[in-house]
Amino acid sequence: MTAQAYDMATEIAAFASCGPLRTWSVIATIMGDLLRAPEDAISGRALAGLAGPMAISEQALRVAVHRLKKDGWIESRREGRESLHLLSARGRAETEAVRALVYDAVGPRPEAVTLVVAPPDLTPPLMTVLPPSAMQLSTRCALVAGEKTLDRRLLAAPLHEGTLPKWVALALAGKPLRSEFAVLTRLTRQALEQLPEDPDKRLLLRLIILHHWRRLVLRQSPLADALLPADWEGAQARAAVIEALERLPRIAPDALNLALQSKG
């Protein structure tokens, strides 16, 4: 397929079935993916050039950038007549905290996962005696990742992949989330069958796929990949997305800024 024959608008519209594009979240995806070094910056023109084909207006972009600056997630500076946007220390820290979850070929797998059950007379509430990373299943039941020293009043049972009752598996990843993962897998596989030749379109396709993946994977329980079967819908989506990211390389922000300036 030639670059001229490739219909980017149709491709973007197809991925719309994965969910809505919230402007601030799209900006977080773009900047998190492209700005890897602390000094990396993306120009306002380049950001608009990537967001525009996603049907994000310049007004919506300005509002979202202002919101992210106000929240302390990004910073901006002027360079001549151009505005440059960078991740703040907070934005970079939050991006790095989930980078393995988003980009690794294998989802995070803690060494141990324990099902804990509280006695009927336990006070205070169960979650107050568990580590912050624990996942509550009910008022008396939770999952704890890693080797932890637990309150001796709790019943603790180790869990292993493939041994979960259905209600626990659905608590880790419910049917709506699984369905969205399956749609993303299908669309990503279809997109990989015929890729655009134009580097700008390849980058845009990368960001569309990455954005929908990032939006979904950050909604799933961090214990899902450790306990659900290796072929569950989220794992299938991960495999498809990682292949897409390998075949659709990112462009360094300096090169992207320069290319768009030359077009302008």
Give per-residue pLDDT as tens, 72-116. 999 999 988 889 999 999 999 999 999 999 999 998 877 788 999
Amino acid 20: pLDDT: 84
Amino acid 253: pLDDT: 84
Rg for the chain, CA atoms, rounded: 21
Calpha distance 244→209 (Å, rounded): 8
Q: Find the Cα–Cα–Cα–Cα dihedral 185, 26, 82, 252, rounded to 10°.
A: -30
Q: Report the 10 Å Cβ neighbour count for 228.
A: 23
Amino acid 51: pLDDT: 93
Q: Report the 10 Å Cβ neighbour count for 73.
A: 20
Q: What are phi and psi of 140, to 5 degrees?
A: -120, 10
* Cα atoms in the 13 Å half-sphere on the side-chain side of 264: 13
The CATH architecture that domain 8-107+172-263 belongs to is Orthogonal Bundle (1.10)
pLDDT digits (tens, 9 = 90+) for 216-239: 999 998 888 888 888 999 999 999
Amino acid 2: pLDDT: 44
Calpha distance 132→134 (Å, rounded): 6
Calpha distance 128→120 (Å, rounded): 15
Please check the confidence at residue 262 and state whether its pLDDT lies above 80.
Answer: no
Amino acid 119: pLDDT: 94
Binning pLDDT at 50, 70 and 90, where does residue 1 land?
Answer: very low
pLDDT digits (tens, 9 = 90+) for 164-219: 888 888 999 999 999 999 999 999 999 999 999 999 899 999 999 999 999 999 99
Binning pLDDT at 50, 70 and 90, where does residue 17 land?
Answer: confident
Beta-strand relationship, 113-117 and 155-159: antiparallel
Residue 127's contacts (CB-CB under 8 Å, 6 or more residues apart) are 134, 136, 142
Please check the confidence at residue 27 and state whether its pLDDT lies above 90.
Answer: yes
Binning pLDDT at 50, 70 and 90, where does residue 146 land?
Answer: confident
* Token pair listed for 261: 């300036």
Does the reported pTM lie above 0.85? Answer: yes
Binning pLDDT at 50, 70 and 90, where does residue 5 land?
Answer: low
What are the domain boundaries of the chain?
A: 8-107+172-263, 113-164
Please check the confidence at residue 4 and state whether its pLDDT lies above 90.
Answer: no
**Averaged confidence pLDDT in the chain:** 90
* Token pair listed for 146: 């890693």
- The residue ranking higher by pLDDT, 95 or 6, is 95
* Token pair listed for 200: 């700008």
Amino acid 40: pLDDT: 94
Please check the confidence at residue 56 and state whether its pLDDT lies above 70.
Answer: yes
pLDDT digits (tens, 9 = 90+) for 116-131: 999 999 888 999 999 8
Q: What are phi and psi of 135, to 5 degrees?
A: -110, 120
Residue among 257, 208, 209 nearest 53 (CA): 208
Mean pLDDT score, 25-53: 94
**Angle at 231 (CA atoms; ends 230, 232), nearest 5 degrees:** 100
